[in-house]
Amino acid sequence: MPSVEPSYASGAGEVPLLGDTIGENLDRTVRRFPGRDALVDMASGRRWTYAEFAADVDDLALGLLDLGIVKGDRVGIWAPNRPEWTMVQYATARIGAILVTVNPAYRAHELEYVLRQSGIRLLVAADRFKTSDYAAMIEEVGPRCPDLEFTALLDGPVWNSLPERGRRADRTELLRAQAALSPDDPVNIQYTSGTTGFPKGATLSHHNILNNAYFVGESCHYSEQDRVCIPVPFYHCFGMVMGNLACTSHGAAMVIPAPAFDPGATLAAVQAEACTSLYGVPTMFIAELAHPDFETYDLSSLRTGIMAGSPCPVEVMKEVIDRMGMREVSICYGMTETSPVSTQTRVDDSVERRVSTVGRVGPHLEAKVVDPATGRTVPRGEPGELCTRGYSVMLGYWDQPERTAEAVDAARWMHTGDLAVMDGDGYLSITGRIKDMVIRGGENLYPREIEEFLHGHPDVMDVQVIGVPDPKYGEELMAWVRMREGAEPLTAEAVRAYCDGRLAHFKIPRYVHVVEEFPMTVTGKIRKIEMRETATRLLGLSS
């Protein structure tokens, strides 16, 4: 019998891994490109060159040291995208404090959990944002958080005093603090979205996130000539690692279009700043493409960008390439626990590769697809659970060794929980989450396949497919649909007619639910658990 190649691949590493800390890497960039733009904030009109950015970061870092923040202390940041967020990111890295990124959508009980679980000593926060009164929630939970010593509200007196304290401090203190750091030190705790139970704090080192950012930028062919529009949230790896760190490790400019995602503000920022790269989850690109003034924006400067966070519908990818001019747009796949990117499409990949796969494993990383039941590597072309290994795998979940052991095995493979197929050339296709798989009458159904098919309907802007309880088949399929402007709402009968003869009968959704928006996390990940709960209630079903 001919041998069957296993679903295993390793990324060739022609460029060596970086061996420095985030602060050392920033210093290197500042020396090379002191006068180039580092950070541009569209909302306030402020901008910094790399020399100005580094000077402000150093003042803030010295201010933190003067306040008593030392290596290993946890510093929380709870705010939307604004320049101060980025300053805190680099200032904490400078002195070895561990930045804890707090989801801007958190309410009081979630804030309290993160403050207590990570032991945050200083919390930097916006006073308020949208309908969230951050100051009031901090006042409510603060007394129950014994480790919390300091709160610095942005634009408040404590915050404003920090750079001033830094300017008066002995600058050799900063050199001494940075000399005590190792690339393997923890520098960031990111809480996973917590769709079930309390979130877990993925603990990441300088080595983890700096290298991941650098190699993501390398795959996008970044240089000091690039200007990256970052509408994705900084609190997540997409914003602070793939965005900020990818820029500073290449001398590129970070452009903040707005405090939170706004399609018009994003398109305007690309035009005004001649951005060469644009980031987003698929729902963001869908909103930009559907903007009523889309055709009036000059996006001719765009060369590349990254789409990640959730599977990209084929039709959306084609529009991004054709209508937005992002010929070199890259698809990235990963998770917070892997810093985050594990696989990425390359500039020279065909459009077909970029619309049908999440690319190949990155440099210095490994990937394999295993049978979830046995843990054995499956042959190429067969589905299984995707596992990744390498420099990017987190140090662990903060103060949760048991949960760490559930996710990272003894051989340091990170078990993603995602179903994937590896082809003969090592390209990976994500077919869904193990938990999202629908079992209908003994048939294993993968929502991603059905979603891709329904995206071809001319009236459908976006679609998500879930399983709902059914007394006969165990589960039935339900499609949640967002309609294009002016289109009549789809009925279950219309969907069946569209699918009939083109999709196996057992893959045709029995139920259709038309919505304005999908429930999702702040990072753009669809909350299918919430969708199932709502659907079960709407249909009068028992789970």
CATH number at 500 reads 3.30.300.30
The rounded distance, in Å, linking the Cα atoms of 40 and 134 is 25
Q: Which residues on adjacent β-strands are paired with residue 478?
A: 466, 511
pLDDT of residue 197: 57
**Interval 250-264 mean pLDDT:** 98
CATH number at 262 reads 3.40.50.12780
* Whether the predicted pLDDT of 215 surpasses 60: yes
- Name 159's Cβ contacts closer than 8 Å, sequence gap at least 6: 84, 124, 152, 153
**Amino acid present at 214:** Y
Is 362 domain-assigned?
A: yes
Nearest of 198, 265, 327, 98 to residue 255 by alpha carbon: 265
The number of CA neighbours under 13 Å toward the Cβ of 346 is 11
Is 86 domain-assigned?
A: yes
* Whether the predicted pLDDT of 289 surpasses 50: yes
Average pLDDT, the chain: 94
The rounded distance, in Å, linking the Cα atoms of 456 and 490 is 14
Answer yes or no: are the C-beta atoms of 236 and 101 closer than 8 Å.
yes
Among positive and negative, which fits the CA dihedral 269, 275, 281, 286? positive
**pLDDT band at 226, cuts 50/70/90?**
very high
What's phi and psi for 326, nearest 5 deg?
-85, 70
Q: Do 353 and 455 belong to one domain?
A: no
Question: What stretches of 395-524 show up as alpha helix (H) in DSSP?
Answer: 401-407, 447-454, 492-499
**pLDDT band at 432, cuts 50/70/90?**
confident
Q: Which residues on adjacent β-strands are paired with residue 306?
A: 279, 330
Q: Do 467 and 332 belong to one domain?
A: no
**Interval 187-215 mean pLDDT:** 88
**Residue 344: both structure tokens together:** 């990425």
* Whether the predicted pLDDT of 433 surpasses 70: yes
Domain C-terminal end among 422, 444, 460: 422
Q: Do 519 and 413 belong to one domain?
A: no
Among positive and negative, which fits the CA dihedral 222, 223, 229, 233? positive
**pLDDT band at 193, cuts 50/70/90?**
low
Domain C-terminal end among 361, 396, 422: 422
Nearest of 518, 80, 89 to residue 262 by alpha carbon: 80
Is 3 domain-assigned?
A: no
pLDDT of residue 520: 85
pLDDT of residue 524: 72
The rounded distance, in Å, linking the Cα atoms of 370 and 69 is 44
The rounded distance, in Å, linking the Cα atoms of 436 and 36 is 46
Q: Do 365 and 294 belong to one domain?
A: yes
* Whether the predicted pLDDT of 195 surpasses 50: no
Percent of the chain with pLDDT over 70: 98
pLDDT of residue 543: 57
Q: Do 417 and 316 belong to one domain?
A: yes
**Interval 322-349 mean pLDDT:** 95
Could you give the number of structural domains in the chain? 2
Please give the sequence-ordered ranges of beta strands (E in DSSP) within 19-112, or none if there are none. Answer: 37-41, 46-49, 74-78, 98-101
C-alpha to C-alpha distances, 413 to 205, 212, 391, 405, 431, nearest whole angstrom: 17, 17, 11, 10, 20
pLDDT of residue 523: 65
Q: Do 209 and 312 belong to one domain?
A: yes
Is 440 domain-assigned?
A: yes
Answer yes or no: are the C-beta atoms of 135 and 125 closer than 8 Å.
yes
- Separation of CA 332 from chain center: 10
Question: Domain span at residue 505?
Answer: 436-538
Q: Do 444 and 359 belong to one domain?
A: no
The rounded distance, in Å, linking the Cα atoms of 368 and 379 is 10
Full 3-state SS string of 357-420: CCCEECCCEEEEEECCCCCCECECCCCEEEEEEECCCCCEECCCHHHHHHHECCCCCEEEEEEE
pLDDT of residue 196: 44
Q: Do 406 and 455 belong to one domain?
A: no
pLDDT of residue 401: 96
* Higher per-residue pLDDT: 195 or 327: 327
Is 15 domain-assigned?
A: no
Q: Do 182 and 271 belong to one domain?
A: yes
Domain C-terminal end among 422, 453, 478: 422
Q: Do 141 and 181 belong to one domain?
A: yes
Q: Do 412 and 490 belong to one domain?
A: no
* Whether the predicted pLDDT of 183 surpasses 70: yes
Percent of the chain with pLDDT over 90: 82
Is 8 domain-assigned?
A: no
pLDDT tens digits along 39-88: 999 999 999 999 999 999 999 999 999 999 999 999 999 999 999 999 99
Q: Do 208 and 345 belong to one domain?
A: yes
Question: Is 0.75 topped by the overall pTM?
Answer: yes
